[in-house]
Protein backbone atom coordinates (compact mmCIF):
# COMPACT_ATOMS: atom_id res chain seq x y z
CA UNK A 1 0.00 0.00 0.00
CA UNK A 2 1.19 3.53 -0.71
CA UNK A 3 0.93 6.20 2.00
CA UNK A 4 1.82 9.81 1.32
CA UNK A 5 3.94 11.66 3.88
CA UNK A 6 1.95 14.54 5.42
CA UNK A 7 5.10 16.69 5.59
CA UNK A 8 7.06 16.19 2.35
CA UNK A 9 4.55 14.38 0.14
CA UNK A 10 6.86 11.43 -0.53
CA UNK A 11 5.03 8.22 -1.37
CA UNK A 12 5.97 5.50 1.10
CA UNK A 13 5.29 1.81 0.56
CA UNK A 14 3.69 0.35 3.69
CA UNK A 15 3.05 -3.40 3.88
CA UNK A 16 -0.64 -4.23 4.34
CA UNK A 17 0.16 -5.88 7.67
CA UNK A 18 1.44 -2.53 9.00
CA UNK A 19 -1.36 -0.15 7.95
CA UNK A 20 -2.50 0.11 11.57
CA UNK A 21 1.05 0.86 12.77
CA UNK A 22 2.80 4.21 13.01
CA UNK A 23 6.04 4.52 11.06
CA UNK A 24 8.42 7.07 9.56
CA UNK A 25 8.73 8.62 6.12
CA UNK A 26 11.64 7.09 4.22
CA UNK A 27 12.64 10.53 2.93
CA UNK A 28 12.22 13.13 5.69
CA UNK A 29 11.79 10.79 8.71
CA UNK A 30 8.53 12.54 9.68
CA UNK A 31 6.12 10.31 11.61
CA UNK A 32 3.61 8.44 9.45
CA UNK A 33 0.60 7.91 11.69
CA UNK A 34 -1.51 4.77 11.57
CA UNK A 35 -4.20 4.81 8.90
CA UNK A 36 -7.05 6.99 10.18
CA UNK A 37 -9.40 7.08 7.21
CA UNK A 38 -11.46 4.53 5.30
CA UNK A 39 -9.45 2.83 2.57
CA UNK A 40 -11.20 2.12 -0.73
CA UNK A 41 -10.05 -1.32 -1.88
CA UNK A 42 -10.47 -3.78 -4.68
CA UNK A 43 -10.45 -7.56 -4.41
CA UNK A 44 -6.65 -7.97 -4.36
CA UNK A 45 -6.03 -5.28 -1.75
CA UNK A 46 -8.97 -6.54 0.30
CA UNK A 47 -7.61 -10.09 0.46
CA UNK A 48 -4.08 -8.93 1.26
CA UNK A 49 -5.21 -6.61 4.06
CA UNK A 50 -7.69 -8.92 5.78
CA UNK A 51 -5.31 -11.89 5.62
CA UNK A 52 -2.40 -9.98 7.20
CA UNK A 53 -4.08 -7.43 9.49
CA UNK A 54 -3.07 -7.70 13.13
CA UNK A 55 -6.15 -5.69 14.16
CA UNK A 56 -9.89 -6.11 13.47
CA UNK A 57 -11.12 -4.84 10.09
CA UNK A 58 -14.47 -3.12 9.49
CA UNK A 59 -15.68 -3.50 5.90
CA UNK A 60 -18.28 -1.11 4.51
CA UNK A 61 -19.98 -2.62 1.45
CA UNK A 62 -21.52 0.31 -0.42
CA UNK A 63 -22.43 1.77 -3.83
CA UNK A 64 -22.33 5.31 -5.16
CA UNK A 65 -26.04 5.38 -6.03
CA UNK A 66 -27.08 4.33 -2.49
CA UNK A 67 -28.41 7.27 -0.45
CA UNK A 68 -28.16 5.32 2.82
CA UNK A 69 -24.52 4.51 2.02
CA UNK A 70 -23.78 8.20 1.57
CA UNK A 71 -25.50 8.89 4.91
CA UNK A 72 -23.34 6.23 6.61
CA UNK A 73 -20.09 7.57 5.12
CA UNK A 74 -19.49 10.16 7.86
CA UNK A 75 -19.92 7.54 10.60
CA UNK A 76 -17.59 5.18 8.73
CA UNK A 77 -14.99 7.98 8.54
CA UNK A 78 -15.42 8.77 12.27
CA UNK A 79 -14.91 5.11 13.08
CA UNK A 80 -11.67 5.01 11.06
CA UNK A 81 -10.42 8.12 12.85
CA UNK A 82 -11.44 7.04 16.36
CA UNK A 83 -10.08 3.50 15.95
CA UNK A 84 -6.81 4.48 14.26
CA UNK A 85 -4.05 2.12 15.32
CA UNK A 86 -6.54 -0.33 16.84
CA UNK A 87 -8.55 -1.26 13.72
CA UNK A 88 -8.72 -0.73 9.96
CA UNK A 89 -11.73 0.44 7.96
CA UNK A 90 -12.14 -0.69 4.35
CA UNK A 91 -14.72 0.37 1.78
CA UNK A 92 -15.78 -2.03 -0.98
CA UNK A 93 -17.83 -0.62 -3.84
CA UNK A 94 -20.27 -3.44 -4.63
CA UNK A 95 -20.82 -2.17 -8.17
CA UNK A 96 -17.11 -2.39 -8.97
CA UNK A 97 -16.43 -5.56 -6.96
CA UNK A 98 -19.56 -7.74 -7.04
CA UNK A 99 -17.46 -10.86 -6.39
CA UNK A 100 -16.62 -9.61 -2.90
CA UNK A 101 -20.23 -8.69 -2.21
CA UNK A 102 -21.30 -12.15 -3.34
CA UNK A 103 -18.62 -13.85 -1.25
CA UNK A 104 -19.96 -12.10 1.87
CA UNK A 105 -23.62 -12.65 1.01
CA UNK A 106 -24.34 -8.95 0.64
CA UNK A 107 -27.94 -8.60 -0.54
CA UNK A 108 -28.60 -5.04 0.60
CA UNK A 109 -26.45 -2.00 1.28
CA UNK A 110 -25.06 -0.43 3.30
CA UNK A 111 -23.75 -3.66 4.74
CA UNK A 112 -21.03 -3.94 7.35
CA UNK A 113 -18.77 -6.80 8.34
CA UNK A 114 -16.09 -7.03 11.01
CA UNK A 115 -13.28 -9.46 10.32
CA UNK A 116 -10.64 -10.75 12.71
CA UNK A 117 -7.81 -12.94 11.43
CA UNK A 118 -9.56 -12.97 8.04
CA UNK A 119 -12.83 -14.42 9.35
CA UNK A 120 -16.15 -12.60 9.83
CA UNK A 121 -17.09 -12.04 13.48
CA UNK A 122 -20.01 -9.61 13.02
CA UNK A 123 -22.32 -8.52 10.20
CA UNK A 124 -25.21 -6.12 9.80
CA UNK A 125 -27.13 -4.68 6.89
CA UNK A 126 -28.51 -1.16 7.25
CA UNK A 127 -27.50 2.09 8.84
CA UNK A 128 -25.56 2.07 12.09
CA UNK A 129 -23.74 4.89 13.81
CA UNK A 130 -20.03 5.09 14.57
CA UNK A 131 -20.56 4.12 18.22
CA UNK A 132 -21.97 0.74 17.16
CA UNK A 133 -19.18 0.20 14.60
CA UNK A 134 -16.56 1.04 17.22
CA UNK A 135 -18.19 -1.31 19.74
CA UNK A 136 -18.00 -4.17 17.20
CA UNK A 137 -14.33 -3.47 16.58
CA UNK A 138 -13.54 -3.26 20.31
CA UNK A 139 -15.32 -6.58 20.93
CA UNK A 140 -13.37 -8.20 18.07
CA UNK A 141 -10.06 -6.74 19.27
Assess whether 66 carries a catalytic annotation.
Answer: yes
Check if 28 is active-site.
no
The answer to whether the beta carbons of residues 34 and 85 sit under 8 Å apart is yes
Question: E strands along 63-118, which residues?
Answer: 88-93, 111-116
Annotated catalytic residue, options 5, 25, 28, 66 = 66
Whole-number Å distance between alpha carbons of 19 and 21? 5
Active site residues: 66, 69
Amino acid sequence: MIRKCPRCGTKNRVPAAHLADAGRCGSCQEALPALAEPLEVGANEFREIVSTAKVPVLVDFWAEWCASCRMAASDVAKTAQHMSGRALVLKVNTEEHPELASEFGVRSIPNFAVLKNGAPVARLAGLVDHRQMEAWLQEAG
